[in-house]
Amino acid sequence: MRGLDDLEVTGRRVLVRADLNVPIEDGVITDDGRIRASVPTIQTLVARGAKVIVCAHLGRPKGEPNPKYTLRPVAERLGELLGQDVAFAADVVGESALGATNALHDGQVVLLENLRYEPGEESKDDATRRAFAEKLAGLADLYVGDGFGAVHRKHASVYDVPQILPHAAGGLVVAEVGVLKKLTDELERPYVVVLGGAKVSDKLGVIANLLSRVDRLLIGGGMAYTFLKAQGHEVGQSLLQEDQLDQVRGFLDEAAKRGVDLVLPVDVLAATHFAEDAGHEVVEATAIPADRQGLDIGPKTRELFASKLADARTIFWNGPMGVFEFDAFAGGTRAVAEALIASEAFTVVGGGDSAAAVRKLGLPEDGFSHISTGGGASLEYLEGKTLPGLAALED
C-alpha cells in the first residue's frame, strides 16, 4: 500500500477521502474526534503545496440534499484545527464544487458537501456508482484514502475513485492498518477482547473468528443478556435477541471446546425502565427480576473484568458495558476503560460508541495505545473480511 511519500503532490489537486462523520446537534459538533484524526494527513499535504479537496459523508441523507446533514459546520471546525480558512462547496460535483476546486491555490483546502447527497455514492449498481466516481475523480489529479471509518463500504468515493486516479493511503489509514495487524499477525499474549454494545447480531462474525484467536473474551452491554438467556437464566425486560440464542449457545460450546475463558457479568444494575433517572438496584446476573431491565454491569462484574484484564499483553475493546449516555449507568464502561488505562498491555479502543464513551467520560485519550476511528471497519477486519476501501488502495 503506497503512502503519502509515494505521491508528488506539489501544485496538484489531491482528493482526500476523509471520515468526518461526527455527531451534530442544532448545528453544533458535540464530538470532533474524527475531524481531529483527519487533520495530520491534510496538514502534510498542505505543507507540501497540494491543492487539497476533502470529501466525506455525514449521516444517512439517502441520496438527496438535506440541511440536517450538511458538512458546513465541519468545514468551520476543520479550518479552526488547521489554522487556515477552509472553503466550502455547496454541492459535491456541481457548479459550486467546480468553482471552488478551480479557485484553489497551492496549500489551500476546500471541503465538498456531503457525498451521500449524491445517489451514486452508495449505489449498489456498479455503473451508476462508477459514473458518479468519474465526476468526483474529475475534480482532482490524485487520490488519498484516509477515511478509515468507511473503508468497509463499497462506495464510489472509497472503492471506485482510487481505481481511476493515482492513489495512496493517508497517514490515518496506514496507522489503523498497522494497529490491526498487531491484533492479528503480531499478537502478544494473553490476548483479551472485551465486547459490548446492544446487539449480538452486530458481532456474530467477529465473535466466531475471535474464538480461534483470543485467550479471554469478556461480554458486557446489552448483548450479554442474550448470552445469559442462552445459559437458561431469567433476564427480565433486558435487551434480548431471541433469534440469536442458538448461535450464542454455539459460541459458548465452542469457547469451552477451545479453552477460551468466556466471561459474562455476575451482577448488573437492574432498572425499572429505560431512563436516566430510573430506579435501579444491583442484582445477580442470573436472577434479574422479571419486571426489571439490566442497563449496566454491576460492581462485582467491574472488579471481575478488571482482574481478567490485569495480566493481558494485548486488549481490544469494542462496545460499552451499559447505557453510558446516562450518568447513572456509565460506571461499567468507565471501569473497563480505566482497566485498559491501568494495564501495561497494547490497548486498542475499537471506535464507534467506545471511542465516544472515552471522550464523554473525560478519560485521557493518550491513556490508550490506540483509539480507532472506525468501529465497523475494525470489526470487519478482525472478522477476516476483505475491506473494499483497503483493497482499492493496495493495487
Nearest Cα residue to 265 out of 290, 234, 300: 300
| Choice among 149, 222, 376, 389 that is catalytic | 376
17 labeled binding residue: no
153 labeled binding residue: yes
At 18 the pLDDT is 98
352 is catalytic: yes
- What DSSP string describes 319-385? S-SS-TTSGGG-HHHHHHHHHHHH--SEEEE-SHHHHHHHHHTT--GGGSSEE-S-HHHHHHHHTTP
Does residue 191 sit in the same domain as residue 250? yes
Instruction: Look at the block and give the residue holding cell 478482525.
Output: 382
Joined grid coordinates for residue 334: 468507565
Nearest Cα residue to 114 out of 44, 50, 52, 55: 55
Q: Is residue 392 part of a domain?
A: no
203 labeled binding residue: yes
Report the distance separating Cα 279 and Cα 271, nearest Å: 6
Joined grid coordinates for residue 137: 475523480
Decide: 384 and 209 in contact? Cβ < 8 Å.
yes
Instruction: Look at the block and give the residue holding cell 431471541.
Output: 242
At 202 the pLDDT is 84
Q: How many CA atoms lie within 13 A of 145 on its CB side?
A: 36
Does residue 213 sit in the same domain as residue 322? yes
Joined grid coordinates for residue 308: 481478567
Q: Is residue 210 part of a domain?
A: yes
Report the distance separating Cα 254 and Cα 197, nearest Å: 22
- Taking only the tens of pLDDT, the chain with its 395 residues reads 999 999 999 999 999 999 999 999 988 999 999 999 999 999 999 999 999 999 999 999 999 999 999 999 999 999 999 999 999 999 999 999 999 999 999 999 999 999 999 999 999 999 999 999 999 999 999 999 999 999 999 999 999 999 999 999 999 999 999 999 999 888 899 999 999 998 888 888 899 999 999 999 999 999 999 999 999 999 999 999 999 999 999 999 999 999 999 999 999 999 999 999 999 999 999 999 999 999 999 999 999 999 999 999 999 999 999 999 999 999 999 999 999 999 999 999 987 889 889 999 999 999 999 999 888 899 899 888 899 999 999 97
Q: What is the CATH number of the domain that holds 73?
A: 3.40.50.1260
| Choice among 352, 374, 375, 389 that is catalytic | 352
Does residue 254 sit in the same domain as residue 307? yes
Does residue 95 sit in the same domain as residue 125? yes
DSSP letter (8 states) at residue 190: S
Does residue 153 sit in the same domain as residue 247? no
Report the distance separating Cα 148 and Cα 171, nearest Å: 10
Decide: 93 and 118 in contact? Cβ < 8 Å.
yes
Nearest Cα residue to 114 out of 61, 154, 51: 61
19 labeled binding residue: yes
Joined grid coordinates for residue 19: 471520515
Adjacency order of strands within the sheet including 142-145: 86-88, 109-111, 51-55, 13-17, 142-145, 167-169
At 175 the pLDDT is 94
Does residue 45 sit in the same domain as residue 136? yes
Tens digits of residue pLDDT in 244-282: 999 999 999 999 999 999 999 999 999 999 999 999 999
Residues 6 or more apart whose CB falls under 8 angstroms from that of 394 comprise 1
Does residue 244 sit in the same domain as residue 168? no
Does residue 167 sit in the same domain as residue 218? no
Does residue 56 sit in the same domain as residue 205? no
- The total of structural domains in the chain comes to 2
CA distances to 82, 145, 196, 269, 357 from 220, rounded to whole Å, are 39, 34, 5, 12, 15
At 201 the pLDDT is 86
> For the chain, what is the total number of helices (H) and then of strands (E)?
15, 17
Tens digits of residue pLDDT in 171-196: 999 999 999 999 988 889 999 999 99
Cis peptide upstream of residue 190 (ω within 30 degrees of 0):
yes
Phi and psi, residue 79, nearest 5°:
-60, -40
Adjacency order of strands within the sheet including 280-284: 280-284, 267-271, 293-297
Does residue 201 sit in the same domain as residue 150? no
For helices 352-360 and 33-47, what crossing angle results, to 10°? 100
34 labeled binding residue: yes
DSSP letter (8 states) at residue 12: S
325 labeled binding residue: yes
At 274 the pLDDT is 96
Which residue range is the domain that position 299 belongs to?
187-383
199 is catalytic: yes
Does residue 193 sit in the same domain as residue 148? no
Which one of 140, 174, 208 terminates a domain?
174
At 240 the pLDDT is 94
Does residue 117 sit in the same domain as residue 10? yes
| Choice among 13, 17, 34, 229 that is catalytic | 34
354 labeled binding residue: yes
34 is catalytic: yes
